[in-house]
Amino acid sequence: MVKLTEEMKSVFAKTKLFHIATASKAGVPNVVPIAFVQLADDGTMWIGDNYMVKTLANVKENPHLATYIYDAETKRCFQIKGNVTVKTSGPEFEKMRQAIKAKNEKYPAKSVLIVKITEVYECTPGATAGKKLL
């Protein structure tokens, strides 16, 4: 299992809006901004689903996604890829649901996407951009 480094976790913590990219089974891309993303542990992200339509459909037929994390202060950027499981019940779902509802009770908190991180790439501009790190 891939585990984020301390530097990557620091950049993750500073990221406020995550651009989540998915693709349908036919390869049609989709990208959406999502704020409800957290690390469950060093190798797992949880993404809260309030209004997903295409993203949810995509991961159900093609359970992979990518995002990037960026720290504007240090200009550090990492691309994260992972495998997705969707849950609408259970302890992970309830924990994410509570976190979403704590922000605003009106959010529907329909499901949680559990992402097992499989790869991390450098995306900071420079000679190592695109290099696989984990």
Residue pLDDT tens, the chain, 134 long:
799 999 999 999 999 999 999 999 999 999 999 999 999 999 999 999 999 999 999 999 999 999 999 999 999 999 999 999 999 999 999 999 999 999 999 999 999 999 999 999 999 999 999 999 99
| Of 76, 77, 63, residue with least CA distance to 118 | 63
For the chain, list the domains and their CATH numbers. Answer: 6-122 (2.30.110.10)
Looking up tokens 């704020």, which residue turns up? 35
